[in-house]
Amino acid sequence: MDMARKYGLLIGGFGFSYLGNWIYLVALNLFVWHLTASPAAMAGIFIVGPIARVLTSFIAGSIIDRTNKRKIMILSDIVRGSIVFFLPFMESIWLIYALLFLANIASSFFGPSSTYYITKYVSMEDKQRFNALLGTFNSGSFLVGPALAGVLIMLFNTTIAIWINSFTFFVCAFVIYSLPDVDDTAETLQQRVTWRMLKSDYLAVVFFIRKNGLFLKIYLLFQCSLMIAFALDSQEATFIKKDLALSDGLYGTIVSIAGVGSIVGGIVAASFAKKWSLRSYIAVGLLMTMVFYTTFYASTTSWMAVVSFVALGFFMAFSNAGYDTFYQQSVPPELMGRFGSVANIFQSVLQILFTLLLGLFAQCFNLQMTAIVFGVFSILLSVALFFVLYAKAASHKLKGEVL
């Protein structure tokens, strides 16, 4: 009750937006599949976003760190809501990519701003539990969103499902408008962005990275594993439709059922936030997530796919809550916009690379075997992260350890 009283509006606003995102993801995948029936075109959906983030992030961080974060989030949501509204009117895959590109430019500003806002708004002792609860809302959306998308698509079409996501962006903008500012006045002084300023900002990020070697190791291993997972996500609809031969309705249902694991995982992660260690959340959570990503693509039946998805969702709730808390504790708030933008460039380049390779190999060879190979590689990275986190050097540096 105390968490709900203090952070209910923030969690509710973000949670409602998550619901729309999951409805939209299923609808967009099916919209593009029926338009093109091409695995390469499906992969393109997941490549356009990273390209936009790479191009935008060169200056986004410098702007974010010097601008009111609440206002950035409101404007970003309004822009994304407007763009998504027009998506169903597009009959060319290239026009769809163009709108997705613009929407992801807005997302490049929203992401680091929301991380800063949560870091400043949520007290230190509440962070791990808050992140777990927010993850539970995301998981609930993961459960309800695809099922709702399936119902909407069966009753109406993909257009209605996509428009609902547009509506959730506007609702989220209104909720953020109702929340207080958390920026320090000194951090939001308006300055003209110059090349000298950008160079200085990047040097500040480089200095932080060099000073925090353990953080860099954890960040690199976690993000490399996660970007492989994102690349695998790009072929999820193709695998379910082509290899498992399921209908549109069953596709939404199987993704929805998988959300059960995410909800249970989020509840357990929130309940034990003060009893289990931060590193166990990250290390065990990520390793098991990647194991079940791999077993999903090794599935030969819909039931095996569902079991893998449920287990995947359960452990991902732990890895996400742990990593988000670790990130918020490790990166100084005044540097979050700049570091987040540099991180976006790195993550986006990795995502583009892995997604292109996966899509190319899947087109030339066999999707299932290609995905399994990628999954095994992500497991190896997760094992390396496990040993880094449980090495003696990490024991006294990770905050919030209780095990």
Does pTM surpass 0.85? no
Q: Give pLDDT tens digits for 39-77.
A: 778 778 878 887 888 888 778 777 887 888 899 989 999
Spell out the domain ranges in the chain: 2-179+198-395
User: Could you please report the per-residue DSSP string of 198-261?
Assistant: HHHHHHHHHHHHHH-HHHHHHHHHHHHHHHHHHHHHTTHHHIIIIIS---HHHHHHHHHHHHHH
Judge whether 251 and 150 are in contact, CB under 8 Å. Answer: yes
In the predicted structure, residue 228 carries a pLDDT above the cut 90: yes
Burial of 301 (0-12, 13-18, 19+ CB in 10 A): exposed
Beta-carbon contacts of 242 under 8 Å, excluding residues fewer than 6 positions away, are 39, 367
Q: CA-CA distance, 357 to 351, in Å (whole number)?
A: 10
Question: By C-alpha distance, which of 59, 55, 53 is closest to 337?
Answer: 59
Give whole-number Cα distances, 325 to 217, 281, 290, 396, in Å: 16, 10, 20, 17
Q: Give pLDDT tens digits for 160-200.
A: 888 888 888 898 899 989 988 887 655 555 566 677 777 88
Q: Which CATH superfamily is domain 2-179+198-395 in?
A: MFS general substrate transporter like domains (1.20.1250.20)
Q: Give pLDDT tens digits for 4-47.
A: 667 888 888 887 777 777 777 778 888 888 888 777 787 788 78
Q: Which amino acid is at 73?
A: M
